[in-house]
Structure 1
Amino acid sequence: MSDALPPWRPLLRGARQREGRSPQARWLQLATLGSDGSPRVRTLVFRGWAGACQLDLLTDRRSEKSAELSAEPRLELCWLLPKAKSQFRLRGHRLLLNADDDQSARSQHWQQLHPGARSLWGWPQPGAPFDPLGDFPEALGDAVPLPETFELVRIEIQQVELLELVGHPHRRRRWRLDQDWAEERLNP
């Protein structure tokens, strides 16, 4: 696969830039298939690009989404950028990395997080019954070792749809990896 950026990447970058410093510009929704066959949607934080068509998200290995992605790696992301009036739908699958690459990437992401963000991996298991006496640290400093529950979710994107909610009619386009990212216009 080429390392050249696909044509939708500059469009996504431009839309994100129009959001300014808004933290919402980094939030995207992850759609997975639940263990019971029902659809599940969660909001996650974009953590960066790992390649031209690969992006990184982080999760807690103890969460349901971790098990769901292990059982069914296909997924879709929705990245709504309201100031740009753009919705990007990214379809792909979770990539499994070899142990060395996974450990290296996890360590790098762990070091890039501020202590308050790291604290989430020191909390009790996500989705378990709440214990008011549970330990919920506010921060995990640099000396705290990388927890085994700190999981990298690297996604390889295979299709992108962009819906631009401007003009009449709105504009909708699609790019697919198996078609060398050729642009295709669609009805909105």
Structure 2
Amino acid sequence: MPSSPRWVEAVNNALRQHPEHQPTVYQVATVDASGHPRVRTQVHRAFHHPPDRPDLPLLVTSTDARTHKVTQLHASARVELCWWFPGTQDQFRITGFAHVRPAPSPSAPAEPTPIPAGATALEMLRDGGFDWDAKRREAFLAMSPGMRASWCAPDAPGSPLGSYEEQKGWPRRVPAEPETEEDRKNWEMSLGNFALMLVEPVEVDWVELGVKPNRRTAFKREGEGWVEQLVVP
């Protein structure tokens, strides 16, 4: 069976070495319709890969289906993310494709973004009948009640807000097991706006600043494997 690329092991090692500094967020950049770069911070949920293909890792994150980035990813699936680990002083710049899976309901605020040619792992999951919504719900349930409530905002992120006082009436918690009618309403709203986002890397730039002299390695996916090239830091 193919093995996981060395950069994934480096990420996992950095996460294990300094749990007190565990960086669970990275910055993800897209391009808008005007050609301007747009970047935001997103939470890393997990790694995932097609069955028996650890050489095709996917980064699992999430988003609100109403955000501008979903519209941007409909136009172009290419993204780049930057992940900094303060404990080990490692930086990973990851270039690849992103795919967003919102709720499958006809009333969902967005449609799934296209899976482009060349997104091998995403194509394998699609062709293998992967249960996207089960994975979406798994990620949703893994969040805290307070985090789940963040998807209950009545309008899309970035919409005009009259005052901060308006937010005081918004839900603060969405429990995993709704007990009241209000809990159930908030659950449906939050889950309906919650979208799974998967990033398929094709190039990775790993810089090790915690060693002297500094090291830098460029990884590129080619065919059935990853090619490594040492480069100037």
CA distance in 2, matches of 1:13, 1:62: 31
What is the deviation of 1:4? 2.5
Q: Which runs of 4+ in 1 moved over 6 A?
A: none
Give 1:50's aligned amino acid: H
Gapped regions of structure 1 (runs ≥ 5): none
Aligned sequence identity (%)? 30
Partner of 1:177: 221
What is the deviation of 1:19? 2.9
Q: Within the alignment, does 1:133 sit opposite 2:166 as a pair?
A: yes
Q: For structure 1, which segment, 73-82 or 104-113, has the greater mean C-alpha deviation from structure 2 after superposition? A: 104-113
Q: Within the alignment, does 1:104 sit opposite 2:134 as a pair?
A: yes
Gapped regions of structure 2 (runs ≥ 5): 100-114, 116-121, 179-186
Of the three residues 103, 111, 119, the one matched with 2:149 is: 119
Where do residues 1-188 of structure 1 align in structure 2 (5 Å cutoff)?
4-22=3-21, 25-51=23-49, 52=54, 53-95=57-99, 96=115, 101-124=131-154, 125-131=156-162, 132-134=165-167, 135-142=169-176, 143=178, 144-145=187-188, 147-178=191-222, 180-188=225-233
What is the deviation of 1:138? 1.1
What is the deviation of 1:121? 0.6
Q: For structure 1, which segment, 142-151 or 29-38, has the greater mean C-alpha deviation from structure 2 after superposition? A: 142-151
CA contact (8 A) 2:21 2:87 kept: no
CA distance in 2, matches of 1:186, 1:11: 17
CA contact (8 A) 2:21 2:86 kept: no
TM-score w.r.t. length of structure 1: 0.89
What is the deviation of 1:161? 0.9
TM-score w.r.t. length of structure 2: 0.73
CA contact (8 A) 2:28 2:41 kept: yes
What is the deviation of 1:63? 0.6
Is the partner of 1:83 in helix, strand or coil? coil
Larger Rg: 2
CA distance in 2, matches of 1:4, 1:167: 26
What is the deviation of 1:74? 0.4
CA distance in 2, matches of 1:163, 1:137: 42
CA distance in 2, matches of 1:71, 1:19: 38
Q: For structure 1, which segment, 92-101 or 81-90, has the greater mean C-alpha deviation from structure 2 after superposition? A: 92-101
Is the partner of 1:133 in helix, strand or coil? helix
What is the deviation of 1:3? 5.4
CA contact (8 A) 2:66 2:193 kept: yes
**How many residues were matched structurally?**
186
Q: Cα RMSD between the aligned structures?
A: 2.0
